[in-house]
Amino acid sequence: MMKKKIIAAISALCMAGTVYASVGNAADAEPVQSELTAEITASQERIYCIASVSKMYSSLAVMQLVDEGRLELDAPVTKYLPDFKMNDERYKDITVRMLMDHTSGIPMGLVTNHYFYEDVDSFVHDNVFDIVSGLRFKADPGEYACYNNVGFVIMEHIVENVSGMSYTDYVRNNIASEIGADHTGTAWSLYSGDLGDTRVSLYRGSLPVKYPYEMAAGTGGIYATASDVANFGSAFFTGNDILLSDDAKTQMSTRWNDDTKYESYGLGWDFVEQVKYEKENIKVIGKGGDVPYMHSCLLVAPDEQISAAVLTAGNGSSQYAGLMASALMDVVLEERGKAVSDLTPPEPKITDIIPDNYKKYEGLYCIGESSNTGICRITFDDTAMYKEDLGTDNSSPKIYRYTEEGGFVKVNDSGKMTSDREIVYFEEKDGGIYIRTDMFTVYPGLGNTLDSMYTGEKMDENPVSPNVQQSWDELSQTVFVTYNEKWTSQQYETPFYRVVTDKAFPGYILAKNSTGVTRAEKMSDEDHALFFTSIPSSVNSNLLDIEITRQTYADKTSAASFDLSDGTRCRSVDSLPVFTADITEISLHSSEAVWYRIGKDMSGKSIVVERPDNSAVFVYNKFRELLYSTHIKDAINTIDLPVDGYIAFIGETGDGVKIFK
């Protein structure tokens, strides 16, 4: 039944996917492995970007250097990277361990120019120190764990400096070759036209896209097959010393903090314990990862000697990959007589009496979910708590009822608890008021998950002058568009940003991008909005500051630039020139995309473009949805132009695009 469940899950998600289980030398291991692979492994394996599962390769590389006595986990990063500096002197307190367990306090996720179609570029590797140097800390180093991508880019440099070889060579020589992983590497070793159909096919909707490469190798840029990843996972089996000592593996699989209110990060691992397996006295550690178009999960039961890898392409997420990997894990465990049952939802007891002291928790909160931070208003009446999302189109507040256990459980309009059981608690700590959420989620046909983490923080008032408020209110009337990414960048599929202000949260803004990611920011002055949250969890990841600068663009226009602290630069669409019928040639610029609003005389018309190899063209409708991209395989040169849309030309200085009507 479980095997059928895995197969049904892959089919139901409509993904291309490869799953693989690697097991140890127990007496019944070999039959389990062969039966699984016969039923659910693709006839020919494909190469995927394994996204953030890549962090386990850089973590393992660091631990190998620890095993060799060449590196100390609790030594400052500056011992191995003398060029690593930040404006805040606390950077000297960041240790190698803090990079690995996400406690460094560095706020940013990834720098710009990191995900390219059919291209390899060292921008991220070469510029990460410069970009990080100007960042503010979100917390003292070591204060709390919060998912951080850029720390593993820095680890990539540590591996290189200590080992004396490139990160790509290190992975190939010290990891992949040691376990016979012939299809494992980085973009630099696997980027090649002769890979052919060994790479998984990728689609935007129904259209095939060119293969993308993640340039941040240490944090998300390992490419591999599912069997290679599963075999890599076996390096963490207890007693397997091919790549690591048992002491190193024990350190990696130990929680950064014993308090279960916090996430259970290890060194590299997303979690080093799961309730589902812990209740059966089975230790399972895991890591997931997501990049556009590809998703992954690696689960390892080190004492049981089971490693399960799931790599998928298309719609989905590492959450779904993780559920399938868990189902694989359960199959092997059941074959060994260690059946594991699904989690059951908590059953809190609802009461109609809310203690009077909860009134002090009313107010505005910054609420985080995944990489989003939004703003909500929390209020109470005699029988319920209400959470109203602000700055969005959601008009109906969510309703929560008080429980005898001291939390508030979400209910539907009929007052009944939902199958996805969300329970929130208020906590006062370190002078602030925080929300902690227990979330039990049901995935029909796949299983259940239970997560507990801090998700919100009560906001202080931020009184600003009328001029400051007016300045940001005016910015909220326009849309900004990215202009400084390379022509191969995937960012141009979703390049738009906008600012949201609201009378309900004066002194604050919401910055939203095309993918729906929202970040709450505090106004500082007319030109600066800064991150402000101190939520001690991964909802506080990827925090960015915003600066409004004045730029003169290649088209000689002087206008505002919406600048993010990760290096992203955007200009107002109101400042874009109009694409008209008399335009016959576009001069390209390496540092700046050439953007146009589509004029009325060209709306609904078609053009033919003749462009150099190192260039790209994108077209969007008035709703800022991508309609055309030269990163679609075999894209035709005839382009239909929408009414009131946008067109962008990106390439290299000295080249040009010819336009024919």
Domain 2-335 has CATH 3.40.710.10: yes
pLDDT tier for residue 29 given thresholds of 50, 70 and 90 = very low
pLDDT tens per residue, range 343-359:
899 999 999 899 999 99
* pLDDT for res 370: 72
Q: Where are the domains of the chain?
A: 2-335, 356-458, 462-575, 576-661
In sequence order, the β-bridge partners of residue 367 are 374, 456
pLDDT tens per residue, range 524-542:
999 999 999 999 999 999 9
Q: Estimate the crossing angle of helix 318-335 against helix 29-40, to 10 degrees.
A: 140
The better pLDDT of the pair 234, 19 is held by 234
* pLDDT for res 21: 57
φ, ψ for residue 220 (rounded to 5)?
-160, 15
Q: Which CATH number fits domain 576-661: 3.40.190, 2.40.50, 1.10.600, 2.60.120?
A: 2.60.120
Check if the beta carbon of residue 78 is closer than 8 Å to that of residue 84: yes
Pairing of strands 569-572, 558-564: antiparallel
pLDDT tens per residue, range 346-395:
999 999 899 999 999 999 999 998 778 899 999 999 999 999 999 987 77
Q: What number of residues does the chain have? A: 661
* One-letter identity of residue 84: F
Q: What Cα–Cα distance (Å) separates residue 161 from each residue in 71, 155, 204, 572?
A: 11, 10, 39, 42
Mean pLDDT of 286-301: 96
* pLDDT for res 447: 86
CB neighbour list of residue 177: distance below 8 Å, 6 or more residues apart: none
**Topology of domain 356-458, per CATH?**
Lipocalin (2.40.128)
Predicted TM-score (pTM) of the model is 0.93
* pLDDT for res 640: 96
Would you say the CATH fold of 576-661 matches that of 2-335?
Answer: no
Alpha carbons 618 and 608: distance in angstroms, whole number: 13
Check if the beta carbon of residue 525 is closer than 8 Å to that of residue 515: no
Alpha carbons 172 and 235: distance in angstroms, whole number: 15
Alpha carbons 276 and 344: distance in angstroms, whole number: 10
Alpha carbons 410 and 400: distance in angstroms, whole number: 4
Of the candidate ranges 141-150, 231-240, 508-517, the one whose mean pLDDT is the lowest: 508-517
Domain 462-575 has CATH 2.40.128: yes
Average pLDDT of the chain to the nearest whole number: 91
* pLDDT for res 392: 85
* pLDDT for res 24: 57
* pLDDT for res 28: 32
* pLDDT for res 18: 57
* pLDDT for res 194: 53
